[in-house]
Amino acid sequence: MPVVSRSIPLPHRVTAGELAELAFGELTGDDREVSGVAPVQTAGEDEVAYLERGFAGRAGVLYARVAIPGRTVIVVPDPLVAFAGLLECIKEPAFEGPIHPTARVSPSAVVDPGVVIGADCVVGDGTHLFPNVVLYARTRLGRNCRIHAGTVLGADGFRYHASGTGPIKVPQVGGVDIGDDVEIGANCTIDRGFLSDTVLGRGCKLDNMVHVGHNCRLGSYVIVAAQTGISGSCVIGDGVVIGGQVGVADHTVIGAGAKIGAQSGLHGEIPRGETWLGTPALPISVMRRVYAMTKDLPAMWRDWGRKP
């Protein structure tokens, strides 16, 4: 499943020196210009990124703790704090008044009460937004989707960075990209990505009160039952079925066609096509034996000479 990633444009071209001044950092290397920000994994020579897990990539300008020979680096005590400060400067307002003059609305479109659509959103043909649905900026919906009442798409991902002065909010400037024929139940929340997009593939079906964290990527025809919470940066393959009240830890990978039992707790990697359940989740063949053994624990405790 490809990562949907983009360069976030700066309001105008800026020099590395200007960025260093903004971050109270030390510029090393050429004082070159950049025009956008991007994840370090995909950033090009015209973009700025921050050094992450020791990977420098091809970014034209980097925030880092130390200079890197042959590279333009802004040396700062905490690269993510400096990068977050830049994002805060370029992040757009969530909403701008009742109807923006550049909005293009089809004459055949019908908008239910309380629906709010932010800047740079796209709603495909035949898609139905029920009352009180909110689309934050850069949310894109495919064709023939149904988004039920009270659902919020594109709110900030939950990310804070520990610093000497307490938790610092890391702005989220990605978007949400939802494919055709998706149905999302009432009071669901799908967070925007950090720099890339949160993605739901074609034909996904989410029950009521499901949360999908920032930067998650769900494949096609994924089914998720009510009250499930999926933490950030998870990858869920095509045709996965997830029961109700499941908790999925961040960066979990669930292989295509896997099935997850209700109230399971997942982390790590779940092989494709397998059925897992329990907390922590285990293959169903193992967990059935665990459940069968549980009812015998009081008798086993007595047999060992202990009081029940």
pTM metric for this prediction: 0.85
Between 46-50, 188-192, 301-305, the lowest mean confidence (pLDDT) is in 301-305
pLDDT of amino acid 9: 83
Q: Which of these is catalytic: 12, 100, 211, 214?
A: 214
Q: What is the pLDDT of residues 61-101, one digit of tens each?
A: 999 999 999 999 999 999 999 999 999 888 877 666 566 56
| Mean pLDDT on 254-266 | 97
Q: What is the pLDDT of residues 139-180, one digit of tens each?
A: 999 999 999 999 999 999 999 998 888 899 999 999 999 999
Q: Where are the domains of the chain?
A: 8-90, 116-290
Separation between Cα atoms, residue 208 and residue 214, nearest integer Å: 18
Which has the closest alpha carbon to 226: 254, 188, 280? Answer: 188
**In this structure, are strands 235-236 and 253-254 parallel, antiparallel, or unpaired?**
parallel
Residue 256 is which amino acid?
A
Domain 116-290 indexed as CATH 3.40.50.10490: no
Average pLDDT over the chain, rounded to whole?
A: 91
Q: Under a CB-based contact definition with an 8 Å cutoff, are residues 251 and 233 in contact?
A: yes
Concerning whether 161 is annotated as a catalytic residue, the answer is no
Has residue 206 got a pLDDT over 90? yes
pLDDT of amino acid 104: 65
* Domains 8-90 and 116-290 alike in fold: no
Which structure tokens are listed for 9? 């444009």
Percent of the chain predicted with pLDDT > 70 = 90
Has residue 2 got a pLDDT over 60? no
Q: What is the pLDDT of residues 291-301, one digit of tens each?
A: 888 888 888 88
Which CATH class, in words, describes the domain spanning 8-90?
A: alpha beta
Has residue 188 got a pLDDT over 70? yes
